[in-house]
Amino acid sequence: MSRLPAMLVALLVLWLPFSATAILAIALAPLALLVDEWKYGKDLLRAMDKLGAALLGWGGRYTVSAECGSRRADCRLCRFVCRLLNVIDPGHCVGAAKREGAL
């Protein structure tokens, strides 16, 4: 008998809560920061950042900034992201890569 129906049910059961939490995080992260729940808000933003890195194919262990900081020599997108972030926070990508162990 095929395992496909069971696999589809398992995928759906896992996909729904993970999708719902990702959607909730979009609203809750800025709200948490506005009401001075800094740690909670920053944790949500960091998780969303790692999800973005996973979506870009980098696995999600590090944030997008850390991935870009460690790949800037051979990645045009990474150099662009780092230049953009340097306007806000000089040295952000390289610093993130060092802090997170990507360098």
Residue 1 has pLDDT above 70, yes or no: no
The C-alpha angle with vertex 22 and arms to 35 and 90, in degrees rounded to 5, equals: 65
Q: Percent of the chain at pLDDT above 70? A: 99
User: By the 8 A CB rule, do 82 and 96 touch?
Assistant: no
Instruction: For residue range 16-48, list pLDDT tens digits in order.
Output: 888 888 899 998 999 988 888 889 989 999 999
Measure the CA–CA gap between 5 and 16, rounded to whole angstroms.
Answer: 17
Q: Indicate the pTM of the whole model.
A: 0.77
pLDDT for residue 78: 96
- What's at 1, amino acid-wise? M
Considering only CA atoms, give the Rg of the chain.
17
Measure the CA–CA gap between 101 and 41, rounded to whole angstroms.
Answer: 23
pLDDT for residue 3: 83
Residue 15 has pLDDT above 90, yes or no: no
pLDDT for residue 13: 86
